[in-house]
Chain A
Amino acid sequence: MNSVLFILGFGILGGLVGGVLFKKLHIPQVIGYIVIGLAVGATGFNLIKIEDIQALEPFNLFALGIIGFLVGGELKLDSFRDYGGQFAAILLGEGLAAFVLVGLPVGLIVYFVCHNIPVAFATGIVFGAIASATDPASTISVLWEYRSLGVLTTSLTAIVALDDALAMTLYGVGTGVAQILTSGHGSILGGLAKVSMELLGAVALGALMGVILVGVLRYVLEPERCLAFALGLILLVISLAVTIHADVILAAMTLGFVLTNVTPRKSEELFKVMRGFSIPIYVLFFVLVGARINLAGMPWWLWAIVGVYVLGRSFGKMFGAYVGAKMTGSPDVVCRYLGTGLFAQGGVAIGLSIMASHHLSGIQLTETMALGDAIICGVATTTFIVQLIGPPMVKWAITKADEAGRDITKEDIIAGWTAKDAMKEDVDTISEHELLGSIINRFSEKDNLFYLVANQAGQMVGGLSLETLKSVLIDQESWRWLVASDVMCSLDHRVTEQSPLHAVLETMDQYRLERMPVVKTDGSDVPVGLIDMADLKHRVDREILRRRRSDHV
């Protein structure tokens, strides 16, 4: 059996099943994906082996590229204009606090293990730098899953998108310092310069490809074709970023950022299609994160590092974000809950740990464990733990901030409504023998644009709109002897109060109907309301506003 194809198929299907099961338990699906990964990986049944995962490294890069692109698409310049200063302070606060509160205790633990100050210092710096990163993928995935909208959601999106750059900077400086401390050569300035070049390179690359994609969208209209172009460009960005040692996520994020801010309307459809396309990629990516972890083979002190990392980082994120938000006068919900939404870590942390293990190879902490292995194993485990804690905390934060479920679309409303929810109840009815002259008076005196026509038994027999009267308006003589029955249009379709609105709209679209009478039960001719397309649009808009409105914003 082709093991790569098996992993792809099994990973996606298994992950989806896990996601569905966890969703039923009201736990974010991303944890389901990771748990399935854990079950089939080194910790569990070992169905997915570490060499298979390594063979899938290009896929991981592709997934990071897609995630970066979608996250970039969430970053609107308007938000930066409004909250720019605030974001910078929060970013520095939460990133640096996590860096210090993880770096110090980890360094201490390592010192007690190997009694080597430079190695302990270097390890602390690397773990601290990695701790400052937050996983945009799982955080954003929770925000999407719970349809979150509001100032906390905007802040979370911006911070998780931007603190990769901070993590990269801290990491660059950190590994530079660590290399100098452990080997005695190299320079901090050199390390900084290298990282700056990598970050700038990523931004330049993403921006260039973004400009190209904007040009493509101008000429290619079909969303599916745009998707193909976008995927091609994302793959190019990834490969070029890897070649020039630039950050893959940052480059792809810049691509998405340029696109959404230069052509917001045209790119909207592309991001929608891309989101649909990204689902299996997301699933597999997190299954592989889980499969990578081997919980059984870790020494006690590494567990201690994991413990202080998780605690120090969580406290650092909360404390740093709170201080940063307070200092810049952010809204109360941001001060209170932003830090708790920043716990998740994922691909970036793992990626940085792999890079660190390469940079710091050849240093032994104990007889059985090298520094590189300790970093990979430790970060993989902390990633798993914070991935378990992170998404539920994001959910908790947006729920407490009353932002969950507010990103409501027209489609959501339609999917949840029945005909009864959507109908006008106060429909004016006229008798089938009412004279045209009197009907025209009604139209001129009231705002109504439509009347139902009923017979003496109260059963509806047709409908009258201004449009149907157009042909008799000139012939005023006929107003004296034409009655409603002569000029009405037949209403051949009707729906019951319980009919799902989406089915009603499909029928109306199929028969090009502007209005549809609503009856109590099947077979009834007595109207209880009317679905009117123009009125429905207002009702849906009002409902969207009602659900989105938050007292906290």
Chain B
Amino acid sequence: MIISDVLSLDRVSVFPSMYKADMLDKMILQLSKTREVQDYHALKEGVFHREALMSTGIGMGIAVPHVRLLSVKSPVMAAAVCKGPVLGYESLDGQEVRLVFMIAAGKGQHAEHLRLLSSITRRLRDQTLREALTNTFDTKKFYHMLMTGEVT
């Protein structure tokens, strides 16, 4: 499974600086409108439960809130770039979080879920791309760069 299979342009957002909970709420709402997600409340509970276990701010300004749920039919993703820091989003290296990729997968889609997490983090290890994405507030351009891995 590749990123283009789970992320469409309409689920890429540009947000102003805001609190973590508000941002997660907005992205959860966005995902819950897809055919893949069948239960908004379950998604919200799942995402916040996972954040309670440990912050998904993995460092380098990136956060990947993710969850596996019975009410999700197949993996789906939403992406957001924040014009300022996401307030209250703790990260492993202490850097402020600017890029957020929320992933929801089905309960049994264990391998797909992990592969998707791995492919997104692998792509964002490229510092040039990461910086370009952080500074791009045009959703089309963001989407294109994320899909191709090329900075334009």
Contact = CB atoms under 8 A, between A and B. Distances in A.
Contacts of B121: 475, 477-478
Nearest to B55: A481
Chain A interface residue number, banded: 10 to 19
Given A475-B118, A478-B121, A487-B110, 6 more contacts: A471-B111, A477-B121, A478-B117, A485-B53, A486-B66, A486-B117
A472 B118 contact: yes
A108 interface: no
A483 B110 contact: no
Interface string A477-518: 110111101110110000000000000000000000000000
A472 B108 CA distance: 16
Contacts of A433: 53-54
Which 7 pairs from chain A and chain B are nearest by CB? A433-B53, A481-B58, A471-B114, A475-B118, A471-B111, A483-B54, A472-B114
Interface string B39-82: 00000000000100110101100000010100000000000000
Nearest to B91: A481
A487 B114 contact: yes
A369 B107 CA distance: 88
Interface in B22-44: none
A483 B114 contact: no
A435 B58 CA distance: 13
B92 interface: yes
B121 to A, nearest CB: 7
Nearest to A475: B118
Interface string B94-125: 00000000000001101101110110011001
Contacts of B58: 480-481
A432 interface: yes
Interface of A: 432-433, 435, 468, 471-472, 475, 477-478, 480-483, 485-487, 489-490
A482 B117 contact: yes
Contacts of B115: 471
Contacts of A480: 58, 92
A481 B114 contact: no
Given A477-B121, A478-B121, A481-B58, A486 B92 contact: no
Contacts of B107: 490
Contacts of B122: 475
Interface size class for chain B? 20 to 34
Of B53, B66, B121, chain A has the most CB atoms within 10 Å of the CB of: B53
Most chain B CB neighbours (cut-off 10 Å) among A475, A477, A478, A481: A481
Contacts of A486: 50, 66, 68, 113-114, 117
Interface of B: 50, 53-54, 56, 58-59, 66, 68, 92, 107-108, 110-111, 113-115, 117-118, 121-122, 125
7 contacts: A432-B53, A433-B53, A475-B118, A478-B121, A480-B58, A486-B68, A490-B108
Given A471-B114, A487-B114, A481 B53 contact: no
A478 B59 CA distance: 11
B70 to A, nearest CB: 8
Nearest to A469: B114
Most chain-A Cβ atoms within 10 A of its Cβ — which of B56, B59, B114, B118? B114
Contacts of B59: 481
B118 A478 contact: yes
Contacts of A475: 118, 121-122
A538 B79 CA distance: 50
A432 B54 CA distance: 10
Contacts of B111: 471
Nearest to A431: B53
Nearest to B125: A477
Contacts of A490: 107-108
B118 A483 contact: no
Contacts of B50: 485-486
A480 B110 CA distance: 19
Contacts of B117: 478, 482, 486
A432 B67 CA distance: 13
A483 B92 contact: no
Contacts of A487: 110, 114
B54 A481 contact: yes
Nearest to A474: B118
A463 to B, nearest CB: 11
A330 to B, nearest CB: 62
Contacts of B68: 486
A114 B133 CA distance: 122
A98 to B, nearest CB: 71
B93 to A, nearest CB: 10
Nearest to A488: B110
A489 B110 contact: yes
A435 B54 CA distance: 9
A392 to B, nearest CB: 59
Given A489-B110, A490-B107, A481 B66 contact: no
Contacts of B53: 432-433, 483, 485
A536 to B, nearest CB: 24
A468 B110 contact: yes
A126 to B, nearest CB: 78
Best-surrounded residue of B54, B92, B115 (most CB of chain A within 10 A): B54
B113 to A, nearest CB: 8
B149 to A, nearest CB: 17
Nearest to B111: A471
Most buried by B among A433, A477, A482: A482
Nearest to A489: B110
A18 to B, nearest CB: 55
A471 B105 CA distance: 16
B108 A481 contact: no
B3 to A, nearest CB: 15
A490 B114 CA distance: 15
Contacts of A482: 114, 117
B148 to A, nearest CB: 22
Contacts of B56: 481
B103 to A, nearest CB: 10
Contacts of A485: 50, 53
B42 to A, nearest CB: 14
Q: Of residues A468, A485, A490, which shows the largest number of chain B Cβ atoms within 10 Å of its Cβ?
A: A485
